[in-house]
Structure 1
Amino acid sequence: MSTLVLTRRKKTGLAREVNAVIAILARDITLFFKSPMTIIMNFAMPIVMMGMLGGSLSQNMTRGIGFNYNQFLLVGMLVNMLFMSTTMGMSSLVEDHTTDFTQEMLISPVSRYSIIIGKILGSSFGAIIGMFGTVIVGLCMGISISIGQLLLIIVLSPLMCLSAGALATIIIGIIKNNKTANIAVSLITMPQMFLSGAIIPIGNSKGILYVLSRMMPMTYCLDLVRAVVYAGTPQYKSVVLNNPAVDLMVILIITIGCLIIGTFFFARSEKNR
């Protein structure tokens, strides 16, 4: 009898956590569609980053690199959009803190990890929409990607978003000023765009640039995606830095570590209010 009761409690607890994740996810999706400016920015950003910056590099600085730079750029910007949009979406937790919404969530009988994961998934929805915007910009620039390759990237996208969101959680857990948090999020996304190889190849980086690039979580996410996209092609060795298994292991370690640390800081900051 006691075993049956315990099993029912476990099922009820699991269902409660799943419902909490879904509720937070649904709230963020609703807020996304209620914010036309957010939707516009998700399509405008690829035009600025890829169409202008990437296009200029492609025309002036990529001769003789040994691989198709345009496709290299497209894959890089797809991952970059996932990272940038997810981390920016996570910064709304600071606004929730100001309006006491996080306090209402924390007094509910759900795990803090469910709240954070639900928020990351909600932020990743806008990131994936932005990723499709990047594909459209790429097509306008004459850069194509196969349906199979795009599907593989979509399959990996939740892992990319989870990694980005976990990293942003640490910042959000420490900083409780909305303006400061937005600046801090930009400071962890912009350097990664340039140092991870999203736009500029980093295979020949040395010294401090080599060290910094290998410290960036997006470096390993991007390298894993490129390993999948370029698998079986002559450009594989020129584009991919590490063994995909190494990339996956590093991503999981960084994500789990950041998620634990970030959730701790987030819960403690709300508890100490």
Structure 2
Amino acid sequence: MTLMTGIGAAPAGSARPARKSGRRWLPYLLLLPGTLWLVVFFFGPMLTLGAASLWDPAGSLQTGYAQTLSFGNYVDAVRDAGPQLLRSFWYAAIATLIGVIIGYPLAYAIALKAGRWKYLLLVAVVAPMFTSFLVRTLAWKTILSDNGALVGLLRDIGILGADGRLLATPIAVVLGLTYNFLPFLVLPLYASLERLDRRLLEAAGDLYASPARSFVKITLPLSMPGLVAGTLLFFIPAVGDYINAELLGNPNTYMVGNVIDSAFLVRLDYPHGAALSFALMFLILIIVMVYLFRSGTDEVV
């Protein structure tokens, strides 16, 4: 009986390593579709764009481009688009600051004060994103038009002169950036604030801390991961945006995205456009790394 039991148990024991081996490869198989997607639609185009940034700038689509490793394209691109680069970061920084001023109280109210209206307010925040980015920006063009109600009101109360205007000004571009990217800031903030342990606020109140002190010592530090994530999700696309500057601004308010768009689609200067794109990504990467390091936040929602 002992011998027969040992013989019968052998096949089952030998099957276990094969099953464990299959489980070991399962996570890699699950990662395979996403990895292929990134290779085909992200790393592949990035390599192509990087190669284009080093083409001989003397070439053209008609004569072809030679790969001459022309690193001088980066110097030329940054020098020629220097004002637009600085303007892009400046506009994005102002819009991000305005977004925090508007978005933090909104996220705080939704997460901690809205009660049963919480989900309705969340839908109100997200609902504009169901509409095309272009349509939303065109709506702001109507709101800020010279004959619109807003400009008329500002003229009546003396904030704008008789010929004052908002459209085709830096103010219009910054307002457009703030409106279009505000949900990207509010949602991470809401997620961070919603996880806040209310008992900490109650304990602070029991210890006679004022609401302002409770906010500075408890709410703000605990919501920093959401604030950092939200400002990054707001700032990064705002720097590279060109639709708001195109529709709400004028040639003197164009951002670096407008220069890149013109290089690829108007002037057909691929080396210049590719080099400027990579320079922009590099500058944004440096700013993001410094920001994350200085924020001292280990967890980003």
Common fold by TM > 0.5: no
Could you state the TM-score of these two structures normalised by the residue count of structure 1?
A: 0.34
Could you state the TM-score of these two structures normalised by the residue count of structure 2?
A: 0.31
Higher CA-based Rg: 2
